[in-house]
Amino acid sequence: MAEWNQAGKSPEVLFWVGCAGSFDDRSKKITKAFVELLQRANVSFAVLGPEESCSGDPAKRAGNEFLFQMQASTNIKTLNRYSVKKIVTACPHCFNTIKNEYPQLGGTYEVLHHTQFLNHLVEEGRLEIDENTYKGKKITFHDPCYLGRANNEYNAPRSLITKLKAELVEMKSCKEKGLCCGAGGAQMFKDAEKGNKEVNIERTEQALDTNTEVIAAGCPFCNTMLHDGVKNKEKESKVAVMDVAQLLAQTESL
């Protein structure tokens, strides 16, 4: 972003990479896939790089309002300094926090989840997708809580999957009733309380019950949780866990 600024120009959109997308090995692949798609569609974009800091979501959900607001205020300062208008991110937690919780602290932007952004690109004809790679394949979509229930977006990812001409199969609980992967509310960073099962296993079982070939996710945390679930069930060779952006990026570029 700093470079754009120095050149006195501004990109079409700021890509908010997020902590998982920056540091976690599985999630970095999602980041790269998304960047590849942005480049394919000739979208001019910038990232904050070292100027980006945690959105504060896990701190807020853990109950630390103070730390959250420190993070948020710092980020808002940076974003406002660059006069950022439009933000896209592949992490529903960052998406939700920046979209819904930054405005009260002085940061108002147009914020899109990457599946929404990609869907627009395809609909505007800027991004073409090959319909052969996944034609007829069974794909199920796991709704991230912070995209679905928290922000009522159930359609964008599904619309992309349908555009791939894949067969979209739904799990027992989906959309409004979608079952959490178990990572939200800062659970990602701690062990689960005592119970008789892990949440991600329960969800993976629901996904496997659909006989799907691919479990599509729209969140780096869900992705990890479900991947762990599939690994636990020893189904890695049969069922892939992929972000919607990875699905699109794997199609041949036209």
Partner 1 sequence: MAVGLFTRNILRIIRNIRLGHAIDRSDRKSDRWKHMARLALGQSKMTVRPIAGLLHIIVYVGFVVINIELLEIILDGFLGTHRVLAPYLGSAYDVLISVFEVFALLVIVAVTLFWLRRNALRISRFWKPEMKGWPKKDADYILYIELVLMFLFLTMNASDFWLQQYSQDASYVQAGRFPVSSWITPLFDGMQVSSVILVERIAWWMHIIGIFAFLNYLYYSKHLHILLAFPNTFYANLNPLGRFSHSETVANEVKLMLDPSADPYATPSPTSEPSTFGAADVTDLHRVQLLNAYSCTECGRCTDECPANQTGKKLSPRKIMMDTRDRLESVGKLLNKGLPIDDNTLLDNYVSREELWACTTCNACVEACPISIDPLSIIMDMRQYLVMEQSSAPTELNAMMTNIENNGAPWPFNQQDRLKWSKE
Taking CB under 8 A as the criterion, which residues in 69-98 touch partner 1?
Answer: 69-71, 73-74, 77, 96-97
- Report the alpha-carbon distance of residue 52 to residue 76 in Å, rounded: 10
State the nearest-atom distance from the C-beta of 93 to partner 1, in Å. 9
Count of residues interacting with partner 1 (CB under 8 A) = 74
- The reply to whether 33 sits near partner 1 by the rule CB under 8 A is no
- Report the alpha-carbon distance of residue 78 to residue 3 in Å, rounded: 14
One of 1, 118, 129, 199 touching partner 1 (CB under 8 A):
199
Chain centroid to Cα 164, Å, comes to: 18
- The reply to whether 168 sits near partner 1 by the rule CB under 8 A is no
Stretch that binds partner 1, among 114-122, 176-184, 230-238, 244-252 (CB under 8 A): 176-184
- The reply to whether 170 sits near partner 1 by the rule CB under 8 A is no
- The reply to whether 13 sits near partner 1 by the rule CB under 8 A is no
- The reply to whether 119 sits near partner 1 by the rule CB under 8 A is no
Q: Which is nearer to partner 1, 57 or 166 (CB)?
A: 57
Stretch that binds partner 1, among 62-70, 107-115, 126-134, 244-252 (CB under 8 A): 62-70
- The reply to whether 5 sits near partner 1 by the rule CB under 8 A is no
State the nearest-atom distance from the C-beta of 73 to partner 1, in Å. 5
- The reply to whether 215 sits near partner 1 by the rule CB under 8 A is no
- Residues within window 128-157 making contact with partner 1, judged by CB under 8 A: 145-146, 149-152
Q: Which of 221, 187, 253 is nearest to 92 (CA)?
A: 221
- The reply to whether 6 sits near partner 1 by the rule CB under 8 A is no
Q: How far is CA 172 from CA 23, 101, 116, 176, 179, in A?
A: 33, 31, 24, 12, 9
One of 6, 8, 125, 196 touching partner 1 (CB under 8 A):
196
State the nearest-atom distance from the C-beta of 252 to partner 1, in Å. 23
Q: Which is nearer to partner 1, 1 or 241 (CB)?
A: 1
The tokens for 151 are 């922000």
User: How crowded is residue 148: how many other Cβ atoms within 10 Å of its Cβ?
Assistant: 22
- The reply to whether 193 sits near partner 1 by the rule CB under 8 A is yes
- The reply to whether 125 sits near partner 1 by the rule CB under 8 A is no
Amino acid at 234: E
